[in-house]
Amino acid sequence: MQKIVVIGSSNVDTTLHVENFPKPGETINAHKVSEAGGGKGGNQAVAAAKSAAETIFISRVGEDSYGSWMKEQLAGYGVKTDYVLPTAGVKTGHAYITLNAEGQNDIIIDHGANYSLTEADVLAAKDVIEAADCVIAQLETPLEATTAAFKLAKAAGKVTILNPAPAIKDLPADLLAVTDLITPNETESALLTSLPVAEEADLEKNAAKLHELGVKHVIITYGSKGAYLSSPVFTGLVPAFKVKAVDTTAAGDTFLGFLAGSLASDFSNLHEAARFANRASSLAVQKMGAQPSIPDRASVASALAE
């Protein structure tokens, strides 16, 4: 069994279900409102746990009813929450999602307690980080905490995966130096590299630039087209599975959690792990909600065998 530590965000997702996105200045009606656990960190932790990996989550929630609810939700999916810490005087992070009839979404985040995660929180989890096979982080929590976690992981010879979302223009060199695999989507990659992604041929140029920044393995997720891998063990597009999407909110997070849960420490099975992760993502987008939509490993294996 893989042992994975995820450092990242915990959000409550409030989704407004609409026919079409409103135009600037337009008022529209939502035909449904729903709530579920979310946050890129939380989603990726749930996906890793559902991939059958032992998963420990390091995060911050508010000292409010939502914080307790988030921990219960995560634990219910098999995520270990000993390092999901309450933060006095700050509310739990919240994401406000508008979801249209095509399954596409817009998201606005109120970060809440997520920005309270500190380097000290990470150092308190030193033992579990050093015992993990893989450490995952995103950019919805402070960079100092992520960098500290990755430095601990690399010193112990563990795999580090950075999901640079939401993307920032200039990632710190000391963070990239301890990142084994970076996993932007095409929009995030374009921001990181200052290169366009208008067609598939641009993915190779983006990946080359990310390698220049110091990362050995690159995956650029490319929406319904799949994922572009650039690595010493495999380079090329791993096609997506064609399905009718109803909610894409957790697509990328599901991909990453299942990738980490399947990946060998030497990256030798990167192509196979990415294909498995693509199949998991294809199942997630066919259901509503972020964490509730994430399938378990048996369901993914069965679907892949069809």
Quick: pLDDT tens for 91-113. Answer: 999 999 999 998 888 889 999 99
Sign of the torsion angle spanned by Cα atoms 78, 109, 276, 274: negative
287 annotated among ligand-binding-site residues: yes
pLDDT of the residue at 57: 98
114 annotated among ligand-binding-site residues: no
pLDDT of the residue at 288: 85
pLDDT of the residue at 25: 97
Longest dimension (CA), the chain: 54
Q: Where are the domains of the chain?
A: 3-8+38-91+114-305
pLDDT of the residue at 266: 97
Does the pLDDT value for residue 1 go beyond 90? no
SS3 of residue 127 by DSSP: helix
42 annotated among ligand-binding-site residues: yes
Distance CA 97, CA 11 (A): 11
Against a cut of 0.85, is the pTM above it? yes
Assess contact for 93 and 9: CB atoms under 8 A.
Answer: yes
Is 82 in the active site?
Answer: no
* Cis amide leading into 232 (omega within 30): no
pLDDT in tens, 216-225: 999 999 988 9
Instruction: Choose, from 121, 133, 253, 266, the residue flagged as catalytic.
Output: 253
pLDDT of the residue at 103: 83
pLDDT in tens, 259-297: 999 999 999 999 999 999 999 999 999 998 889 999 999
Mean pLDDT over each residue of the chain, to the nearest integer: 96
Distance CA 201, CA 159 (A): 28
What is the percent of the chain with per-residue pLDDT over 90, rounded to a whole number? 91
Give the chain's radius of gyration (CA, Å).
18
Does the pLDDT value for residue 117 go beyond 90? yes
| The token pair that represents 91 in the structure block | 């509310």
pLDDT of the residue at 231: 98
CATH 3.40.190.10, applies to 3-8+38-91+114-305: no
